[in-house]
Each structure stands twice: as structure tokens, then as C-alpha cells.
Amino acid sequence: MTIFEKIATREIPAHIVSETDEFIAFHDVHPQAPVHILIVPKRAIPRISEAQPADGNLLGRMLLASREIASAAGLAEGGYRLVINNGPDAGESVPHLHIHLLGGRSLQWPPG
């Protein structure tokens, strides 16, 4: 079980900001911006490169939910960034697909 599955089942506490039957959103414990929220499917998908066509609707709902989560976090006007890491060279530290929602400051480009 990944740490994200343990958060979804409440085995590990987290500051949860949104939840549906399919995914959960919570504040990252090691934030990289003033607002750093993770949007995580409850069903483990190791990474985006392993997602299947059947996962498309779930992934779409997660992306659409990000705008509501960002708005609730006060990021709608100033903007925010969505990031999905795929593999260790991209910075993936938990092998469970998740979307990073980052904002609350000016974000530089290119990242990293």
C-alpha cells in the first residue's frame, strides 16, 4: 500500500481539502509553494505512463476538480500550476499517480 492509499483510508492523517468516491485532495507535507495540494486517485495507478484508456474519465474528473480546488484555495485569480511527474528522473517519489497543484507565488519557467 502506498502512503497515498493509507491517507485515503485514513491510516495516515492529512489535511484533506476535497474528496469524492474516486479521488482525494490534501496538502503536501513538504510544500514547494505556499499552496501545494496533491490530487490523488483512491485506486492506485502507478504513474501516468501506466494509465489505461479506462482511466481516462477518472483522470479528466481529477483535472476538472483541480480548478474548483484551486478556487477554494484562493488561486483562481493569480493562477496556479498543475504537475504530473512520471518516473524517478521526473521527481516522482511515490509510485501512485497524483497531480500537484501549486500556487500562491510567482512560479518560474522552466521548472527544476
**Residues with catalytic roles:** 98
Phi, psi values for residue 82, rounded to 5°: -110, 135
Predicted local confidence at residue 112, as pLDDT: 66
Cα gap 104→106, rounded to integer Å: 7
Predicted local confidence at residue 111, as pLDDT: 80
Contact predicate 74/95, CB 8 Å: no
Q: What is the CATH number of domain 3-103?
A: 3.30.428.10
pTM of the model: 0.95
Element (H, E) at 18: strand 16-19
Q: Taking the C-alpha atoms of 68, 99, 22 and 58 in order, what is their torsion angle to the nearest 10 degrees?
A: 90
From first to last of its 112 residues, the chain has per-residue pLDDT tens of: 999 999 999 999 999 999 999 999 999 999 999 999 999 999 999 999 999 999 999 999 999 999 999 999 999 999 999 999 999 999 999 999 999 999 999 999 988 6
Cα gap 39→16, rounded to integer Å: 10
